[in-house]
């Protein structure tokens, strides 16, 4: 008899609504800094990665996309996590929709347009992951993937890319060739110094342009700092309520 499947309790914390003011403000400040970088060079395609699972890559990718769209930018969020794709679940998009992998393997010129999902309530567009393939890294390394990213770059102001952990699999490093910059997510209590160092090394090995580090889930109160300031972008959002079972 097979072991019972462990129930997952993943949750999306989003900017706006009843989110803490500092949480939403931190994303706005990240947006401003990325806009400055865009003004002085190309910073259109931004890859979000981290060293291991559960550091908040997907939460950060979605919130960055939402924050940019809120200022009127045309934003597409591409789910490139073919190992543990959760963007569709977080955004309540049916799991069986065609997505990136189907567009990569399609010969139909309209496949990309047909796979994009425009979210009416927040204005972002999502390219779901699609059918999970046995060979994610090879698919992502294909010339077809480059063509898809080139098309997205010309249709949108920003292309935000959610990826699997860079110290575990090569997919994120493979995708660096289509990205203008990389944001590395770290999370207190989850990220280790060694993990962060290995991620940096793996990204540098493919000449990735590391734009910065995002500290996700940082709680100023727990550090004992009375002024509450930190020298990193912080995205503290600790929910005191119990995670809702999804």
Ligand X SMILES: Nc1ncnc2c1ncn2[C@@H]1O[C@H](COP(=O)(O)OP(=O)(O)O)[C@@H](O)[C@H]1O
Instruction: Kindly state whether residue 200 participates in binding Mg ion, applying the rule CB under 5 A.
Output: no
Q: Which residues on adjacent β-strands are paired with residue 75?
A: 158
Q: How far is CA 203 from CA 89, 94, 124, 166, 167, in A?
A: 28, 32, 28, 8, 9
Which of ligand X, Mg ion, none is residue 82 near (CB under 5 to 8 Å by kind)?
none
10 binds ligand X (CB under 6 A): yes
Under the binding rule (CB under 6 A), the answer on residue 238 touching ligand X is yes
Binding range to ligand X, per CB under 6 A, among 109-117, 133-141, 170-178, 234-242 = 234-242
Query: To the nearest whole angstrom, how small is the minimum distance from the Cβ of residue 106 to ligand X?
Result: 27
Out of 14, 24, 45, 58, the only residue in the binding site for ligand X (CB under 6 A) is: 58
The DSSP bridge partners found for residue 214 are 185, 233
149 binds, among Mg ion, ligand X, none (CB under 5 to 8 A by kind): none
Residue 35's binding partner out of ligand X, Mg ion, none, with CB under 5 to 8 Å set by partner kind: none
Instruction: Return the residue of 24, 45, 49, 58 that touches Mg ion, per CB under 5 A.
Output: 58
| CA dihedral sign of residues 222, 241, 57, 210 | negative
Q: Which of 31, 44, 57, 200 binds ligand X (CB under 6 A)?
A: 57
Using CB under 6 A, list all residues that contact ligand X.
10-11, 13, 50, 53-59, 86, 216-217, 235, 237-238
């Amino acid at each position: 008899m097979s072991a019972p499947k462990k129930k997952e309790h993943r949750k999306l914390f989003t900017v706006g609504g009843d989110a803490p003011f500092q949480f939403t403000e931190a994303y706005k400040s990240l947006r401003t800094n990325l806009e400055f970088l865009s003004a002085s060079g190309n910073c259109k395609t931004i890859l979000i990665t981290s060293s291991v699972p559960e550091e908040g890559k997907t939460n950060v990718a979605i919130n960055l996309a939402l924050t940019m769209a809120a200022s009127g930018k045309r934003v597409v969020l591409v789910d490139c996590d073919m190992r543990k794709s959760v963007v569709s679940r977080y955004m309540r998009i049916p799991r069986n929709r065609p997505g990136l992998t189907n567009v990569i393997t399609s010969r139909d010129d309209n496949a990309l347009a047909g796979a994009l999902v425009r979210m009416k309530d927040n204005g972002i567009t999502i390219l779901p992951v699609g059918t999970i393939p046995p060979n994610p890294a090879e698919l992502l390394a294909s010339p077809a993937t480059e063509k898809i990213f080139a098309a997205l770059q010309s249709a949108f102001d920003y292309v935000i890319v959610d990826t699997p952990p860079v110290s575990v699999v090569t997919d994120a490093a493979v995708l660096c060739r289509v990205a203008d910059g990389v944001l590395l997510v770290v999370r207190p209590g989850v990220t280790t110094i060694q993990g962060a160092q290995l991620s940096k090394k793996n990204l540098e090995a493919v000449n990735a342009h590391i734009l910065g580090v995002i500290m996700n889930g940082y709680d100023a109160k727990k550090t004992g700092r009375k002024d509450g300031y930190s020298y990193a972008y912080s995205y503290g959002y600790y929910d005191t309520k119990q995670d809702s079972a999804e």
